[in-house]
């Protein structure tokens, strides 16, 4: 696909050192590289944006939408230790990246994957499965480990020189750190963390949504905040742990366009706020009273009873007067 004197590569770019080095190695061969970061409710592009800025790159941010959530619920290759479908996820992003090739007049795809670095998706069989499932197997180059991998079209056609790529494998970071020094890369984030799907507590909450047919953006948005309780098959409660949680929950409420959030707050008593979420259009008084009782359970300044204000999406406000229970009734409903 010779269009002009310069080939173009699209890069899966997380902002980590590996993806940054992959970009540098391909740029060294006179190839234009366009970094792309995919964003979802489970991982952000903040690290990628910061890394790109520090290294004079421009990264394209692409939100993953409903088809990504559908893949998460039923991955072909299953989950890792928690809720992380790493093989399917990487294949999905390669497929999305491949679909962008025409838009950017690009020739092939690259990433910072290292053979043997991650247990689920970066062993040889996993990397082959990712490439095959993506639909763009013959256009993928992994610059950090490509000497250990099968040649693909960009190498066979001479678009890039395989001899100038690397043969890294395993979890040691020494070669990458040395290469970073060579390129004058001083600041880069640590490789750990970033994806909530690998977090045990978050995975438990996400599994709960899946089991109760609530696997949707409007519910997922609130998963990473507060204490969370399962009230019945269709309804859950979120309670702030501290002032930071309260402020964050308030911001989420302001930014959330759906009409599924009922807000609870004790009248005239400082303390946590609560959010009732349901896939039902109408939440019964029994469930609302239960939510109010749980909220009061976490009001330290209440000894016996309190009035809880319940604000509905249409701004109607009702009051529930409830006693403060001390029998630990809420524990069996707690998701974390």
* First-to-last C-alpha distance (Å) of the chain: 53
What are 277-293's pLDDT values in tens digits?
Answer: 999 989 999 999 999 99
With 80 as the cut, is the pLDDT of residue 258 above it?
no
The architecture CATH gives domain 8-183 = 3-Layer(aba) Sandwich (3.40)
Tell me what the mean pLDDT of segment 79-94 comes to. Answer: 95
- The enclosing H or E element of 275 equals strand 274-278
SS (H, E, C) 173-206: CHHHHHHHHHHCCCCCCCCCCCCHHHCHHHHHHH
Task: Give the lowest-confidence range in 84-93, 108-117, 256-265.
Answer: 256-265
Contact predicate 21/142, CB 8 Å: no
Which sequence spans correspond to the domains of the chain? 8-183, 199-333
- Which pTM was predicted? 0.90
pLDDT at 118: 76
What are 211-246's pLDDT values in tens digits?
Answer: 999 999 999 999 999 999 999 999 999 999 999 999
Residue 84 pLDDT grade (very low, low, confident, very high; cuts 50, 70, 90): very high
pLDDT at 112: 95
pLDDT at 1: 38
């Amino acid at each position: 696909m010779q269009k002009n004197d310069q080939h173009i590569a699209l890069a899966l770019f997380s902002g980590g050192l590996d993806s940054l080095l992959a970009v540098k190695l391909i740029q060294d061969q006179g190839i234009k590289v366009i970094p792309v970061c995919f964003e979802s409710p489970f991982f952000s592009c903040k690290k990628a944006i910061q890394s790109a800025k520090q290294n004079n790159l421009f990264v394209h941010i692409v939100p993953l939408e409903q088809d990504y959530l559908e893949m998460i619920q039923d991955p072909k290759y299953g989950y890792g230790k928690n809720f992380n479908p790493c093989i399917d996820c990487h294949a999905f992003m390669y497929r999305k990246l491949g679909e962008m090739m025409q838009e950017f007049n690009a020739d092939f795809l690259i990433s910072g994957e290292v053979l043997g670095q991650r247990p689920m998706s970066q062993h040889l069989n996993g990397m082959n499965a990712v490439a095959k499932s993506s639909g763009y197997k013959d256009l993928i180059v992994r610059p950090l480990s490509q000497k250990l991998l099968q040649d693909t079209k960009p190498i066979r056609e001479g678009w890039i020189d395989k001899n100038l790529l690397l043969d890294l494998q395993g979890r040691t970071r020494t070669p990458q750190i040395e290469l970073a020094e060579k390129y004058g890369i001083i600041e880069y984030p640590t490789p750990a963390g970033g994806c909530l799907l690998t977090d045990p507590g978050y995975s438990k909450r996400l599994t709960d949504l899946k089991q109760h047919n609530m696997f949707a953006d409007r519910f997922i948005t609130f998963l990473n905040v507060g204490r969370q309780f399962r009230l019945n098959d269709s309804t859950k409660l979120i309670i702030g742990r501290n002032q930071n949680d309260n402020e964050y929950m308030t911001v989420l409420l302001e930014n959330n366009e759906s009409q599924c959030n009922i807000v609870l707050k004790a009248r005239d008593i400082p303390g946590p706020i609560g959010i009732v979420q349901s896939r039902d259009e109408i939440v019964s008084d029994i469930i609302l009273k239960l939510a109010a009782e749980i909220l009061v359970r976490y009001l330290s300044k209440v000894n016996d009873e309190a009035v809880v204000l319940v604000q509905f999406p249409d701004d109607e406000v009702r009051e529930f007067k409830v006693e403060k229970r001390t029998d630990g009734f809420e524990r069996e409903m707690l998701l974390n």
